[in-house]
Structure 1
């Protein structure tokens, strides 16, 4: 039996620091244009968690922007 893990996100808000355990469940978005996302600024990357997109600081892990359920 395969169990799909989902990320619990009641605490996601701008300025929240994502820890390494939570980050393991995210998918790195290399082709942000495919999802109609704006280009990330230098030092930031887009990540996907379920159907939500998070713009995170690469070194800090702080959420800069959230796009919910596209």
Structure 2
């Protein structure tokens, strides 16, 4: 009986260790596959991060260029004169006061009669585009459309 018990106990221990070995073997295979998947995921994440970083960098550069162009356009619409010129005393049209004009406003037709600056090259101004002319308003010069008086640019402080 003693032999039988010893043999049964030995068989039980052997079967238990085999079960543990097979479970450990399965777990190590699972861990190996899991580790490979995790490594691949990390590689993909790194690639995606780099790709996203490049995309964000390009988008930021594009936004910066767009902001620069908008600022340049705004500057072209309203600029301060680099040099001041002496001109005859300014008297506003009857019923009007000197005021600061800005881009997009409409200049009244009264200004388009006696306040047009025809000798623009004398004051360092470029030739106005077809359909536009320079109009004096106080110490400023306004580039306005001949037909509707729509202001497209303001040169501030051109005259003393």
TM-score interval w.r.t. the shorter chain? 0.7 to 0.9
List runs of 5+ in structure 2 lacking aligned partners. Answer: 1-89
Change in CA separation of 1:42 and 1:24 when aligned onto 2, cut-off 3 Å: closer
Checking the alignment, whether the CA contact within 8 Å between 2:98 and 2:137 is kept in structure 1 is: no
- CA deviation profile, 1:5-58 (whole Å, cap 9, x unmatched): 443314x1101011224x268611111000101110000001111210000100
Distance in 2 (CA, whole Å) between partners of 1:20 and 1:28 is 11
Larger radius of gyration: 2
Change in CA separation of 1:25 and 1:8 when aligned onto 2, cut-off 3 Å: farther
Which ranges of 4 or more aligned residues in structure 1 deviate by more than 2 Å? 4-8
Checking the alignment, whether the CA contact within 8 Å between 1:45 and 1:56 is kept in structure 2 is: yes
Counterpart secondary structure, 2:141:
strand
Aligned to 2:115: 27
- Count of residue correspondences: 65
**Greater helix share, structure number:** 2
List runs of 5+ in structure 1 lacking aligned partners. Answer: none
Of residues 98, 116, 120 in structure 2, which corresponds to 1:8?
98
Change in CA separation of 1:24 and 1:37 when aligned onto 2, cut-off 3 Å: closer
Of residues 47, 58, 61 in structure 1, which corresponds to 2:146?
58
**Greater strand share, structure number:** 1
| Higher RCO, Cα 8 Å, sep 6+ | 1
